[in-house]
Amino acid sequence: MDAKQAIEILQTDLKNNKRKGLTTVNVDVLDKYLEQLKAHAMQNAGSPETELQDAEHSHQWDIEMVRSGWEASTNALKTCFLVSGGSAAALLAFAGSAWSALKPEGLEALALTMTLLGWAVFATGIATALTYLAQYFFAERLKWHERAGDVCQWSAVSLVVAAYVLILLAYLQAGKMFSLFNIVKAIPIN
pLDDT attached to residue 47: 67
Where in the chain are the domains? 3-44, 69-180
pLDDT attached to residue 176: 86
Which residues in the chain come in under a pLDDT of 50? Answer: none
Partnered with residue 121 across adjacent β-strands are none
What are 91-116's pLDDT values in tens digits?
A: 888 888 777 778 888 888 889 999 99
Region for residue 21 given its phi and psi (left: phi exceeds 0; alpha: psi -120 to 50; beta: otherwise): left
Of the candidates 65, 84, 71, the one whose C-alpha atom is nearest the C-alpha of residue 131 is 71
